[in-house]
Amino acid sequence: MSMSAYLSQLVQVAVALMLAPLLVGWVNQCRAWLQNKRAPSLFLPYRTIRKLFVKDAVVAQNASPIFRLTPYIVFGAMTCAAAIVPSLATDLPFARAADAIALVGLFALARVFMSLAAMDIGTAFGSLGARRDMFVGFLAEPALLMVLFTASLISSSTSLPQIVDTLAHHEIGIYPSLAFAGVAFTMVSLAENARIPVDNPATHLELTMIHEAMLLEYSARHLALLEWAAALKLFNYSCIGLALFFPFGIVVSGADWLAVMSSAPLLVAKLAIGGVALALIETLSAKMRIFRAPEFLGTAFMLAVLAMLVNLLLGA
């Protein structure tokens, strides 16, 4: 393991931490434009996070240590995930520690602690949000695993850098299995990131909240960390999607860290296009009733399994 690998690892995590709020700002801006509204500043998420960090934290009297620890655990899990997902380079020393399945586990760890913290205070909206989040999560997780298994079948490895290496080098052709998996992954990411068909990130109505309902009791630096973690989660999911389905431009093993720097503009461009697509999906679709979510995620699961089966049968 060379010095440049560690450097590219560091650069990647730094880029993820810095770019994640920008991605959220970009999606919000695109959405506002599409809905004929005046868009907020692209850098609003940064300002929000900075403002929250200088405020004084208020914690409920009956809060247990879980409530205080959760922001750090969630933020840590998302940063770890950012270190594992090959967004700029595949020569990542840290990625050896965890494969695709462990990555899903990392997301699940964050979700469990979020839900525990939301129920910790004992408010109605917190536990309501926590239960809904677990409900969506237990439907979305198998579908996500199936998508990752399809990619693993193609590259016969569950290690993410290996998958991306194989996918980046395979010949250009029509792969129906990857198309199915791509659609399934999009549906899962919408659900996991609390986006519109399942949850509304901009809602102010507590009764319809899922993700936001769990943050109601948090303030100041805790809230800042959780907002940042949510942005990182969106960034990570986008990067997984880009790495699996549009892997060109990611620096494969053996390159020095200057090449890693040069792959960053391409990543930004891909993320910008992805952000427009996300804003478009969110504008074009209406929020579903919560009990329609099983149907939505069941379809995602079915598509992901079909992708795997088609890949086994046709080898494509």
Partner 1 sequence: MESLPLYAQLINLLASVLLLLAFAMLAQRRVVTLIDLFAAQGLALACSTAIVAYATAQPHLYFSTAITLVLKVAILPWLLHRLVQRLDVKWDVEGLINVPTTMIVGLVLVIFSFNLAVPISQLANTVTRATLGIAMATVMLSFLMMITRRKAIPQVIGFLSMENGLFFAATSATYGMPMVVELGIALDVLVGMLILGVFFFQIREQFDSLDLKHMEKLKEGEAE
The contact set with partner 1 (CB under 8 A) reads 154, 166, 170-171, 173-174, 176-177, 179-180, 294-295, 298-299, 302-303, 305-306, 309-310, 312-316
Nearest CA to 228 out of 65, 24, 27, 55 is that of 24
Q: Which is nearer to partner 1, 281 or 302 (CB)?
A: 302
Tokens (6 digits) for 251: 């620096």
Residue 122 is which amino acid?
G
Tokens (6 digits) for 218: 């948090």
Task: Find the shortest distance in angstroms from Cβ 295 to partner 1.
Answer: 6
Three-state SS for 135-181 is: HHHHHHHHHHHHHHHHHHHHHCCCCHHHHHHHHHHCCCCCCHHHHHH
Q: Which is nearer to partner 1, 52 or 190 (CB)?
A: 190
- Which CA distances in Å does 125 have to 58, 135, 209, 214, 273? 18, 15, 9, 7, 35
* Rounded CA separation 103/155 (Å): 17
* Rounded CA separation 22/38 (Å): 18
Q: Which is nearer to partner 1, 108 or 306 (CB)?
A: 306
Q: Which is nearer to partner 1, 174 or 286 (CB)?
A: 174
Task: Find the shortest distance in angstroms from Cβ 90 to partner 1.
Answer: 18
Q: Which is nearer to partner 1, 8 or 186 (CB)?
A: 186
Task: Find the shortest distance in angstroms from Cβ 180 to partner 1.
Answer: 7
Task: Find the shortest distance in angstroms from Cβ 134 to partner 1.
Answer: 18
Task: Find the shortest distance in angstroms from Cβ 72 to partner 1.
Answer: 37
In 10 A of CB 62, how many CB atoms?
9
Task: Find the shortest distance in angstroms from Cβ 108 to partner 1.
Answer: 22
Q: Which is nearer to partner 1, 117 or 187 (CB)?
A: 187
* Rounded CA separation 247/239 (Å): 10
Q: What angle do CA 272, 98, 183 make, to 5 degrees?
A: 40
